[in-house]
A and B are shown apart, each in its own frame.
Chain A
Amino acid sequence: MSRSLGSGAHCIGALALYKKGQAKETTSAMTENSGKTTHFGFSEIQESEKAGKVQGVFNSVANKYDVMNDAMSMGIHRIWKDAMMDWLAPRPGQKLLDVAGGTGDISFRFLKRAGRGHATVLDLTEPMLTEGRKRAEAASMADSLDWVVGDAMALPFEDNTFDVYTISFGIRNVTVPQQALNEAYRVLRPGGRLMVLEFNQIPNEMMQKVYDLYSFNIIPRMGQLIAGDKDSYQYLVESIRQFPDQETFLGMVKKAGFENAKYRNLSMGIACLHSGWKI
């Protein structure tokens, strides 16, 4: 915890520069409502507000999401997603639940590797799913794909349903990540596998500084240029910085009930894979 507090303080300068508008909004929300609060980027907001704000971000970026991912990560997100599949090793006939699956990136990869199988793509944001369904892969795999709008914290599936649960660059947008992990555990079958791909904290301080310079200065501008939406990409950058470090998140995976929980850093820890099994 001390780590994430430290990183928050480290970025207060950036917060003051970029977030004047939102800070004001947050203050008024805090006085009206005294419920539990959560992070929205660097802003503190009511838990009840987060889902709507996250939907706003993704409604706004849906049709440029794939292009922006390529631009922001210089194509590296593809390597990370392939690394996820390497560790996951999909097998024929498996049933995947791909939460925050947005445009179908993970599900398409999974089905290609599994040969045959089934993937349910669940996302909080409708336009992300309709974008995904338009993609060529979606048409060719239509019989193996379901698209569902849903909340990671209240999944519309029975217990013990899926062989694999993935969430890729999604769990930091969930209001209470622990609750999403608990739900993952519930809907997985005994012997089922959880795999989380997320941006994490870079263990090396020098690298973190370089990364911060890039992410706080360049990414929101790219967002403006490519997607015409600087604020949404500003949120994405801040939400990455607020997310717990690898060890803290590993503890959350274990707390949900997963066994043999482990993580692997990717690209020096810019991203990270967490894996766990429901035994």
Chain B
Amino acid sequence: MTDAPQVFDRRMLESLVCPETHTRLEYDAEKQELVSKAANLAFPIRDGIPVMLRDEARVLD
């Protein structure tokens, strides 16, 4: 594909919450993840698109 790589738009953090707990998320720019401390989950951001699915999230240790 010739598309430029897409980055996550930080403004989205204002409207996104954890789908499990409805609590706020933290953006981890390095890992490209949205972290829900309440649910102990990290949701991946792929190609600039947050993937807010329980099954796709990484369980935090």
Contact = CB atoms under 8 A, between A and B. Distances in A.
B contact patch SS: loop
B35 to A, nearest CB: 13
A146 B19 contact: no
B17 to A, nearest CB: 5
A129 B18 CA distance: 20
Interface string A106-135: 000000000000001000101001100110
Contacts of A120: 15
B19 A156 contact: yes
B12 interface: yes
Nearest to B23: A158
B52 A156 contact: yes
Contacts of B18: 156
Contacts of A155: 19
A154 B52 CA distance: 9
Contacts of B52: 148-151, 156
Given A146-B12, A154-B54, A130 B47 contact: yes
A146 B54 contact: no
Interface residues of A, number: 21
Contacts, number: 53
A156 B17 contact: yes
Given A148-B50, A150-B52, A158 B17 contact: yes
A130 B6 CA distance: 10
Contacts of A126: 46, 49, 51
A148 B53 CA distance: 10
A58 interface: no
A contact patch SS: mixed
B30 interface: no
A226 B15 CA distance: 38
Given A146-B12, A154-B54, A158-B22, A130 B49 contact: yes
Nearest to A162: B15
A159 B49 contact: no
B3 interface: yes
B49 A161 contact: no
Contact of B53 (A129, A146, A150): A150
B20 interface: yes
A148 B15 CA distance: 11
A159 B23 CA distance: 11
Contacts of B16: 148, 156-157
Nearest to B12: A146
A110 B51 CA distance: 24
Task: Name, among B15, B18, B54, the residue most crowded by chain A CB atoms within 10 Å (CB to CB).
Answer: B15
Given A133-B6, A156-B19, A161-B15, 10 more contacts: A124-B53, A134-B3, A148-B12, A148-B52, A154-B19, A156-B17, A157-B15, A157-B17, A158-B15, A158-B22
11 contacts: A51-B55, A134-B3, A146-B12, A148-B49, A149-B50, A149-B53, A149-B56, A151-B52, A154-B20, A158-B17, A158-B22
